[in-house]
Structure 1
Amino acid sequence: MDREKFLEKLFPLVGGKENTSLCEFQDDMLYITLKDAGLADENAVAKLPDVASAALRRGRLTVTFGEPERKEEVPFMANNEKLINEILRAVGGKENVSSATHCITRLRFRLIDVKKADIEEVKKIDGVAGCVYKAGQFQVIIGPNVNEVYDELIRTTGVKSEPAVTDAEAEAEDGAKKNIFSRLVDTMASIVMPMIGPLAGAGMIKAILSILTQFGVISSDSQTYQLFYLVADGVFYYMPFFLAFSAGKKFKCNPYLSLIFAAMLVHPNYIALRTAGEAVKLFGFLPVTLASYTSSVVPIILIVYFQSIVERFFEKKTPKAIKVFFVPMITVLITVPVGYVVLGPLGSIIGTYLAKGFTALDVYASWLCPTLVGGLCPLLVMTGMHYALGSAQSIQRATLGYATILAPGMVCSNMAQSAATFGVALKSKNPEIKSLASTVGVTALCGITEPTLYGIGLKYKTPLYCAMAGGALGGLFAGLMHVKQWAYGTSTIFALAVYLGEDNSFINMCIAVAIAMVSAFILSYITFKDPVQEK
């Protein structure tokens, strides 16, 4: 081997000769000390002629000469290409595919003639976990690597692509076969799903901070805590912004215009009006209910949906010459009054009447309050109605010295959501679902249920129903035992000490939480069906 010619080929692969400080040949080895190891490509060096292997460790490249042991293996892309060809053959050929998209685990084809496709033949293909025809789509279940298969499909075949969707979004298209509640849940899930990652990450930070403060490792008054908390809480506090953009894309309107309506709900000036507590009227005669919209979900989705209707109408009717400014302007002018007066405070208005009903129930059938809150808490949180119940509970606490309207049922619900999610984590064979469920289950255990509710509950539905059932059972026991929250605290398992008081509320609350968690976990484990296993 000509060493000089070899080095001429090697130097460009390690950042040039000027990036080497020492080159030393010893028998069938070459040792090179690099100034900047980040410039070296050891994989490229290993492919040079006469090189058996190349290893880069701590700034030193070791090249071993000889015959490399090369394994005969099919490249990953070749595997995908073979899989794609077999799938296309079984669905009637590429010419039978109108368009294709994908979700978290499935390739989804729109076929020109469904009768040409053979579901049973597709199921026999190596690499396919299952196949169904659903929501007007021929769905081939691939698993977590569906993104790579889909990209290869579009690249090699030229099939028309459509935007990626969630399972809930695709199923929502099959509206005739679903009741209105399921369709609403599916729509909400598809809007919230893009922000599950930030929710889960921020939720974990809040959970860690909660645990550290509970055990006295860090004080909630410290500046370190305050800075990390405001960052983590910002995702939840400003949730209307995230949802506005996602809803704008979902309803096919301008998502940047949607952000304006999120801003109007949490703007400091609006918060100041709400804090002042004075009556506010739009145009001098339209009453504005000053509801709390921070961390809310439903109000901004309703407003953006209304925006999409207004925007589409004026897009069709407005001349092109003035469309660029007129459509956004008129959309804002019409949507703002409707949002402030009707759609935004809808949950708050209903919640106010609900709070009056719960207050009456607490007097005449006190066991019903924790039962209903334990079962319905996820829905109350989504709509913002829990704020009204919280206000009613504050009056109760000031009058009687304890709370029963909201707190006992909510802690049962939160812990049931955590347990139901852990049931999914244990049951699922899908690594992505298992990882997400494990993470958000921990955050729910610390009282932060949004990642659990939107990432697992709404998406797969059965965990949500199981959590509601478990929360109701735990709440029922708490109600029958007349559990009282004697001090203010969060609705988490780490704050059960607030139920220590003049009676046995603490013991009974612990039992209620155990009932909620065990029942929700068992129900979720039994009923959850992993989408990858669907046939």
Structure 2
Amino acid sequence: MSRKYEKLAKDIVDNVGGISNIESLHHCQTRLRFKLKNNSLADKETISELDGVPKVLINGGMFQVVIGMHVAEVNEEVEKYMASKGFTGGNTSGQSDSDEKKKPLDVVADFVSSIFSPIIPALAGAGMVKAFLAILVTFNLVDPANQTYVIINMIGDATFAFLPILLGFTTAQKLKVNPYLAAVVAGIMVHATWGGLVEAGNPVDLFGFLPLYLVRYTNSVIPIILVVLVQAPIEKFLNKIVPKALRLVFVPMILFMVMGVLALSIIGPAGDYIGAIFTSGFTWLSENVSWAPALAMGGLYSLLVIFGLHHGLAPLGFIQLSQMGYDSIFGPGVLLANVGQGTASLIVGLLSKDLKTKQIGTSAGITGLMGITEPALYGLNVPKKYPLIAGLIGGAAGGLFAGITATRRFATGSSGLPAVVMYIGDNSMRYFYQILIALAITITVSAIATVVLFKRYDGKEETDKNVKKVDSEPIISNDDVTITSPVNGRVIPLSQVNDEVFSAGLLGKGVGVEPSDNQIVAPFDGVINTLFPTKHAIGIVSDSGTEVLIHIGIETVELGGKYFETHVKQGDYVKRGQLLVTADFRKISEAGYNTQIPVVIINSNDYENIEPVNISSIHINDLLMKVHPKLV
């Protein structure tokens, strides 16, 4: 294993608060998922800025560090580093997030994500084996009556047949009880002897009076989760009352007897009944509004990925697959959503003339088409917005077709182009052809929408940049330029602005203002040459060629325009003192953002000297800086 991620692993662990703040860790296909005792101890901004970390999220009670497709390698180094520091997974002193009030949705999302995420690789591998077998049968390469078919089918079925054991293990881990005891109870439910009794169909009772309901639990999801939810408090209670000397033997024995009986008599049948309700719901959707689930997933799933909430929906596909033998609720829409985002990213990469955008767009786009969309979403589509919208439109269009035609998959696993083989089943190629058509619709619509929006946004911007470079270089006047304050407040040196890019003068010379008013006005007569979509920054060029950037707050781009209102648009000519932006600094501050306003002269190198005023308190239209041109 490469050691190139050692430093990244160390930096991540140290900045989440160290091992004393880590309760547990696992990873999905692209993210490290920490369960922290106190999220406020983690330095989210520092981790976000690490090379190799595109994004950090806190959702569903999990502190999620987005890594990418090499997350397993990073996770291994993280675990090694944690182990070297003595991490055992137990609680240490300090306030736990469990002491903090959580929203019910966060609790449910956290629970579902924690028990399903670890088994996704097993489900994906088994699904691909089943898809491979379906291809062999479809092309008459294997006869279903042949032993080869039986063995390959057994290999593919194993994960699903013993799914309750896997879920019992992960659910127990989440509930902090012995996962091996939970796995044994699940084994009781899927034992061959019990399966034989169910197959025989004769009434079964215990001690002659306690009936055991004949329910087959292989491939099931809900029954074992309910069983372990009941088993956890019983196990904890037994560990409290049974003496340590006897605990090793008697706690497991009592648990097996009590939970084995409860699982086969009450809890398991109750879970099976709930599963039947899900089946009825799935059937109703298929018969009455088959278009709705795939349309919703195709159009909205990527938004759930952005906020880290998508794992909460995956069990719907597992449940339908286990209950009905196919999945039409989750799989088709998710596949189309991922391909839509991948297509949008790829098209932007192909069209853009910017080298960085081209590299990110093409590589992340291909990855998205393979089913992993986080690089495309966080690297390009979300920052630019319009590719995200184009992908959502394409996903919804393909999803509508898939829904109307009742497209379904017969295995679970990858949600990218390789997953099309999972739509071969039911002794038919019908659904395979349908998903190909749905994909063609998604790719076409996403591509067209991206091209149209690119021309409106990025295309125009790149053209404007080229025109500016060739034809519109500002003509620097030989006269002094007077820049007045765009806001009421207190003047501070640029070096005291709480952002290294500004304080180091990397964007140019200037000053900072700590605002006391919500209005931002023009510091001179000129043209608005830059107005960010997030409304947090505005650029203006004076009649004499001075270019000034007014950056409203620090890291406020993350607010996405919230608490800002613009009163001008890009290209407008404004007069000194004209209202440009209104910002609710109280709410911005309450949201945790610094409200300092750097006022920077972007083309500082064109001037001999920039002279800030030597005062503290300042008002709108008061002298803020005087700019002296170079003598020619």
TM-score by length of 2: 0.46
Moved more, 267-276 or 209-218: 267-276
Please state how far the C-alpha of 1:285 moved relative to its aligned partner: 4.2
What is the aligned partner in structure 2 of residue 215 from structure 1?
A: 139
Instruction: Tell me if structure 2 keeps the 8 A contact 1:98–1:109.
Output: no
Please state how far the C-alpha of 1:279 moved relative to its aligned partner: 3.2
Q: Following the alignment from structure 1 to structure 2, what is the Cα–Cα distance between the partners of residues 212 and 236? A: 20
What is the aligned partner in structure 2 of residue 61 from structure 1?
A: none
Q: What secondary structure does 2:176 align onto?
A: coil
Query: Counterparts of 1:407-426 in structure 2 under 5 Å?
Result: 410=327, 414-420=331-337, 422=339
Q: Following the alignment from structure 2 to structure 1, what is the Cα–Cα distance between the partners of residues 99 and 124? A: 29
Query: Counterparts of 1:10-409 in structure 2 under 5 Å?
Result: 80-81=6-7, 84=10, 98-100=20-22, 102-104=25-27, 105-106=31-32, 119-120=44-45, 123-131=48-56, 144=71, 145-147=73-75, 150=78, 153-154=81-82, 159-161=85-87, 163=89, 176-180=101-105, 183-352=107-276, 367-368=287-288, 370=290, 382-383=318-319, 387=323
Please state how far the C-alpha of 1:228 moved relative to its aligned partner: 2.0
Q: Which amino acid aligns with 2:192?
A: P
Q: Following the alignment from structure 1 to structure 2, what is the Cα–Cα distance between the partners of residues 417 and 82? A: 31
What is the aligned partner in structure 2 of residue 447 from structure 1?
A: none
Q: Following the alignment from structure 1 to structure 2, what is the Cα–Cα distance between the partners of residues 293 and 521? A: 43
What is the aligned partner in structure 1 of residue 404 from structure 2?
A: 477
Q: Following the alignment from structure 1 to structure 2, what is the Cα–Cα distance between the partners of residues 350 and 240? A: 16
Instruction: Tell me if structure 1 keeps the 8 A contact 2:34–2:62.
Output: yes
Q: 1:348 to 1:162 in 2, by over 3 A?
A: same
Q: Following the alignment from structure 1 to structure 2, what is the Cα–Cα distance between the partners of residues 335 and 275? A: 22
What is the aligned partner in structure 2 of residue 494 from structure 1?
A: 424
Q: What secondary structure does 2:20 align onto?
A: strand
Q: 1:514 to 1:254 in 2, by over 3 A?
A: same
Q: 1:381 to 1:138 in 2, by over 3 A?
A: closer
Once the two structures are superposed, residues 49-95 of structure 1 have per-residue CA deviations (whole angstroms, 9 ceiling, x without a partner) of xxxxxxxxxxxxxxxxxxxxxxxxxxx8698459847995xx59x9x
Q: Following the alignment from structure 2 to structure 1, what is the Cα–Cα distance between the partners of residues 36 and 77? A: 17
Once the two structures are superposed, residues 110-165 of structure 1 have per-residue CA deviations (whole angstroms, 9 ceiling, x without a partner) of 699957x765455445455445667888776666353365357447xx6453549x
Q: Which amino acid aligns with 1:161?
A: F
Q: Following the alignment from structure 1 to structure 2, what is the Cα–Cα distance between the partners of residues 357 and 154? A: 45
Once the two structures are superposed, residues 412-438 of structure 1 have per-residue CA deviations (whole angstroms, 9 ceiling, x without a partner) of 765434434555776798999987994
Instruction: Tell me if structure 2 keeps the 8 A contact 1:358–1:369.
Output: no
Once the two structures are superposed, residues 365-412 of structure 1 have per-residue CA deviations (whole angstroms, 9 ceiling, x without a partner) of x9417468878997666447974xx5xxxxxxxxxxxxxxx98xx557
Q: 1:280 to 1:103 in 2, by over 3 A?
A: closer
Instruction: Tell me if structure 2 keeps the 8 A contact 1:413–1:470.
Output: no
Please state how far the C-alpha of 1:324 moved relative to its aligned partner: 2.1
Please state how far the C-alpha of 1:473 moved relative to its aligned partner: 4.3
Q: What secondary structure does 2:424 align onto?
A: helix
Please state how far the C-alpha of 1:321 moved relative to its aligned partner: 3.2
Q: Following the alignment from structure 1 to structure 2, what is the Cα–Cα distance between the partners of residues 521 and 179? A: 40
Give the structure with the higher percent strand. Answer: 2
Q: 1:161 to 1:251 in 2, by over 3 A?
A: same
Instruction: Tell me if structure 2 keeps the 8 A contact 1:421–1:437.
Output: yes
Q: Following the alignment from structure 1 to structure 2, what is the Cα–Cα distance between the partners of residues 469 and 284? A: 57
What is the aligned partner in structure 2 of residue 30 from structure 1?
A: none
Please state how far the C-alpha of 1:252 moved relative to its aligned partner: 2.2
Moved more, 276-285 or 104-113: 104-113
Q: What secondary structure does 2:214 align onto?
A: coil
Q: Following the alignment from structure 1 to structure 2, what is the Cα–Cα distance between the partners of residues 258 and 434? A: 41
Moved more, 300-309 or 78-87: 78-87
What is the aligned partner in structure 1 of residue 485 from structure 2?
A: none
Instruction: Tell me if structure 1 keeps the 8 A contact 2:222–2:275.
Output: no
Instruction: Tell me if structure 1 keeps the 8 A contact 2:217–2:223.
Output: yes
Q: Following the alignment from structure 1 to structure 2, what is the Cα–Cα distance between the partners of residues 190 and 137? A: 9
Q: Following the alignment from structure 2 to structure 1, what is the Cα–Cα distance between the partners of residues 174 and 141? A: 43
Instruction: Tell me if structure 2 keeps the 8 A contact 1:415–1:517.
Output: no
Please state how far the C-alpha of 1:290 moved relative to its aligned partner: 2.0
Q: Following the alignment from structure 2 to structure 1, what is the Cα–Cα distance between the partners of residues 332 and 8? A: 47
Which runs of 5 or more residues in structure 2 are unaligned?
91-95, 298-312, 347-359, 374-391, 407-420, 451-557, 560-632
Q: Following the alignment from structure 1 to structure 2, what is the Cα–Cα distance between the partners of residues 234 and 517? A: 34
What is the aligned partner in structure 2 of residue 444 from structure 1?
A: none
Q: Following the alignment from structure 2 to structure 1, what is the Cα–Cα distance between the partners of residues 215 and 222? A: 13
Q: Following the alignment from structure 2 to structure 1, what is the Cα–Cα distance between the partners of residues 12 and 164? A: 45
Q: Following the alignment from structure 2 to structure 1, what is the Cα–Cα distance between the partners of residues 135 and 247? A: 53
Instruction: Tell me if structure 1 keeps the 8 A contact 2:316–2:330.
Output: no
Q: Following the alignment from structure 1 to structure 2, what is the Cα–Cα distance between the partners of residues 497 and 382? A: 21
Q: 1:209 to 1:275 in 2, by over 3 A?
A: same
Instruction: Tell me if structure 1 keeps the 8 A contact 2:423–2:435.
Output: no
Q: 1:257 to 1:415 in 2, by over 3 A?
A: same
Q: 1:287 to 1:358 in 2, by over 3 A?
A: farther
Instruction: Tell me if structure 2 keeps the 8 A contact 1:243–1:297.
Output: yes
Q: What secondary structure does 1:344 align onto?
A: helix
Identity of aligned residues (%): 27
Q: Following the alignment from structure 2 to structure 1, what is the Cα–Cα distance between the partners of residues 5 and 444? A: 39
Q: 1:278 to 1:213 in 2, by over 3 A?
A: same
TM-score by length of 1: 0.53
Q: 1:83 to 1:367 in 2, by over 3 A?
A: closer
Once the two structures are superposed, residues 348-378 of structure 1 have per-residue CA deviations (whole angstroms, 9 ceiling, x without a partner) of 324556767888x69xxx9417468878997
Please state how far the C-alpha of 1:330 moved relative to its aligned partner: 1.7
Give the structure with the higher percent helix. Answer: 1
Higher relative contact order by CA 8 Å / sep ≥ 6: 1 or 2? Answer: 1
What is the aligned partner in structure 1 of residue 597 from structure 2?
A: none
Q: Which amino acid aligns with 1:311?
A: E
Q: Which amino acid aligns with 1:147?
A: N
